[in-house]
Structure 1
């Protein structure tokens, strides 16, 4: 697959041309940035590379799926089901999100959320409790990390979905703490599959992170990193991890309806290895 990049421009996509991407671009370039609210992150990340594979073949059961998808999901029921399984991850003067893996406090989040934690991490649950957490293990190459919340029990683990069964057009909900607004839910559809995403490192010395992502138009903003992307059954299909946004003069990034999530099958493999 030939890697491609977005050239410098002012807010609109153009046909990407094959180039050798520099690590850092001018601030006028569109930004693909990790969707975490971490002090200094957006000032340092000023460019990105996005490359995409060919779209997967259309399903042979299009007619059947069209009929099935005519009903509107009960998003209030989905939110009620999944919100207890999504936490806010506080790291110093920054924050992100995470999903509950076990009743005794195992939490999955993005590595970039806790990469500069310095050992000071807390997680906040939807019932208002906030407890210390430790970083159990990390995998920078997949941008995932596992935490352990202290002194908790009886939590509601997230339900896993088979991300291999996800199709373009499927309804999804993103849940997390954008800009610290814990328990925020947004809805949309799966916009594309197997989108090759490369996010630059947080510093010039950091290595870029690449993965095949689920693309969604559900609104994802800084602070959503590590949160849940779930299907209409309330099952985890991805870990929200990055957004595309035209760079603002301040360097801050915001949603323009192009967000990316690490597929649940990929995340599950990494969790099994890290736990």
Structure 2
């Protein structure tokens, strides 16, 4: 238990409170719209700690909440066959990106994170989705997977360009939510391997990440309750505006 608490003892009560509130909020966003936990967590924690440290914290909450999301829907085998190239190249791209770039403690990593958040927010606010032709899936899926892996390795954010690609496949609502869970699960596991290879995911970091699971799950349950009580469109707009502001801050100030 001491190993689990050591990280929080070292960062102090102020940053510990930030971690708890961040995962409550990130879980609530994911529970409401089906994505956003790593994006919100990396954005907020990136204000106060190096991206590599923030990425290590999200490994356990992201993995387990994505598996939760992945387990529902009944389309798993069909999606795994259809998205096999995307998923394989996400894993490969993340490992290659970790070896080539990696999330280090330098200021460029925070700037890269801010840029990724800002691009994703602007795409969400513009609402211009990608339309993927059936004939293009065989080459576009692996390409998007490779690019997503490199972005994941550099920033800890899993969404670009995988999320716009998945949204452009014309999947039903349940299929899309399950496909997002599948993509994010692969991205998280690949990121964990990459962080471990950089020495950023030891026992202390995993213990701290495990303790962050509780607020993430509570937030996700709250988000699922909230989903049927507010306008999904309004919530998404507020989410993307906040993400854009956060991205601008990180991009400019690092």
TM over 0.5: no
Q: TM-score, normalised by structure 1?
A: 0.25
Structure (1/2) with the larger strand percentage: 1
Q: TM-score, normalised by structure 2?
A: 0.27
RCO greater where, 1 or 2, for CA within 8 Å and sep 6 or more? 2
Structure (1/2) with the larger helix percentage: 2
Larger radius of gyration, structure 1 or 2?
1
